[in-house]
Chain A
Amino acid sequence: MGARLTGSHVDTQEPKTNPLVSISDEPETLYKRLSLLVKGHDKAVLDSYEYFAVLAAEELGISVEKVYKPPKTIERLTLLKSVHIYKKHRVQYEMRTHYVCLELKYLTSSTAAVYLEYVQRNLPEGVAMEVKKTKIEKIPEHIREPVWDTLPQVEETEVKS
């Protein structure tokens, strides 16, 4: 907030370039949709994680399409209670898996890499994640035109039956 003297050079127009950022020439791959499915045994942990992931996406400027909770799956086992005999007395265990699904739209590869690394490094213990990426691409060069038009005329051989 010092006084600006005439003749002093103040570079307020140039943005400060982060020395850690490196820009390469290769074109970015585009991801139309990124679908994160988070699985865990504890619903409260997943709720907190969902809040964190949604806030992180919004802060980084990623559009969140849908956040929904698929119904939980319960895997039950029935085992014998005793080590030897006593077939009529059993004990039952169950494993409950809760899910939270986050769908994000329209990410570039650098944004996706940054977001996924941030969100995966802060994945709590005992929680698993599946990331489904939908990449969009142009039709490759060799499928534009059928190659038979450009090849030189070759004598047709007998088609083997």
Chain B
Amino acid sequence: CVTPALSRRTATERMAVDQDWSSVYPTAAAFKPASVPLPIRMGYPVKRGVPPPKEGNLELIKIPNFLHLTPPAIKKHCAALKDFCTEWPSALDSDEKCEQHFPIEIETVDYVSAGTSIRNPKARVVTLRVKLSHLNLDDHAKKKLIKLVGERYCKDTDMLTITTDRCPLRRQNYDYSIHLLTVLYHESWKTEMWESEKTEEDMEEYIWENSCSQKNALDTLLRIKASENVSNVTKEELLASEVVKNYRNSVIALKNEGETENNMSQYKESVKKLLNIQALP
């Protein structure tokens, strides 16, 4: 025998309009059609029809719902959690100030996902970033550090980036990266005996003193003075003269910054002044 379908007045009909919704769904729960007073339809519609209603709708039960996180519920939770939060120091309100007082940046990544295990092997990677201008380095130490570090230094932003993941734990990787920074810093201040054999190819930037350009320029000027039979002008006087200084600056700019319109025109002017040629049309 078949029992007649009892038409039960569901909870939705007995709910008041201004009830406290966070007591109906205090935590994450499956969708209960009898407890949610909304006329929701979900699913693929039948031909020339509408999507199926909420009673006995598996699609609505499968999808995660946010009925326990309505805006008033979130505000209530945050009001209770606010006591545990602390204020950010108001003196550090811009990136530049943060960098000035706290120059080192440590980046770590945490991974949250559902699965058989909560561990993720990528979580042990630690990246340390620091600007070299904040470290106490002199000229020689800075150049040596950049040579030691190689690719990890970016010249445009003056940022040294050390990424460590050789240890199994994050704390160990962090300690190792600080150790690397300490070792690099102290080694760059040391001057080894073989560093005096640094040749011109090893230099990072062009230095005019003791270069072929200086020798050639002085040679040429001396020969010009000799042919004009002027009294012996010393090298120091030539070096200190305006034209030679101009020439020096333009050559240094050309070599270090590359060839730009400005640099080339400066070089042209300085050579003309040096060799006393009149302006060519």
Contacts and interface: CB of A to CB of B under 8 A. Distances in A.
Given A126-B114, A131-B109, A148 B104 contact: no
Nearest to A122: B69
Given A110-B84, A126-B114, A137-B102, A52 B189 contact: no
Contact of B136 (A115, A120, A123, A145): A145
Instruction: Report whether over half of chain B's contact residues are helix, strand or loop; otherwise say mixed.
Output: mixed
B101 A128 contact: no
Contacts of B84: 20-21, 110, 114
Interface in A129-155: 129-140, 142-148
B79 A144 contact: no
Instruction: Report whether over half of chain A's contact residues are helix, strand or loop; otherwise say mixed.
Output: mixed
Interface in B79-97: 79, 81-89, 92-93, 95
Given A32-B98, A136-B105, A128 B88 contact: no
Contacts, number: 147
Closest 8 CB pairs of A and B: A59-B78, A124-B64, A128-B113, A136-B102, A146-B189, A111-B85, A129-B112, A131-B110
B63 interface: yes
Interface of B: 28, 63-64, 66, 68-69, 71, 74-75, 77-79, 81-89, 92-93, 95, 98-99, 101-114, 130, 134-136, 141, 178, 181-182, 185-186, 189-190, 192-194
A1 to B, nearest CB: 23
Given A114-B85, A143-B185, A128 B114 contact: yes
B107 A134 contact: yes
A60 interface: yes
Contact of A60 (B64, B78, B109, B112): B78
B111 A28 contact: no
B135 A139 contact: yes
Contacts of A21: 83-84
A134 B192 CA distance: 37
A61 interface: yes
A38 to B, nearest CB: 9
B134 A139 contact: yes
Contacts of A127: 64
Q: Which of A32, A133, A145 has the most CB of B within 10 A?
A: A32
Contacts of A82: none
Contacts of A138: 101-104
B74 to A, nearest CB: 5
Contact of B64 (A114, A125, A136, A144): A125
B105 A134 contact: yes
Nearest to B87: A108
A123 B101 CA distance: 36
Contacts of B87: 61, 108
30 contacts: A20-B83, A20-B84, A21-B83, A21-B84, A30-B89, A59-B82, A60-B85, A61-B87, A108-B88, A110-B84, A111-B88, A114-B84, A118-B77, A118-B78, A118-B81, A124-B64, A124-B66, A128-B112, A128-B114, A130-B109, A130-B112, A131-B110, A132-B108, A133-B107, A135-B107, A136-B102, A136-B105, A137-B104, A138-B102, A140-B182
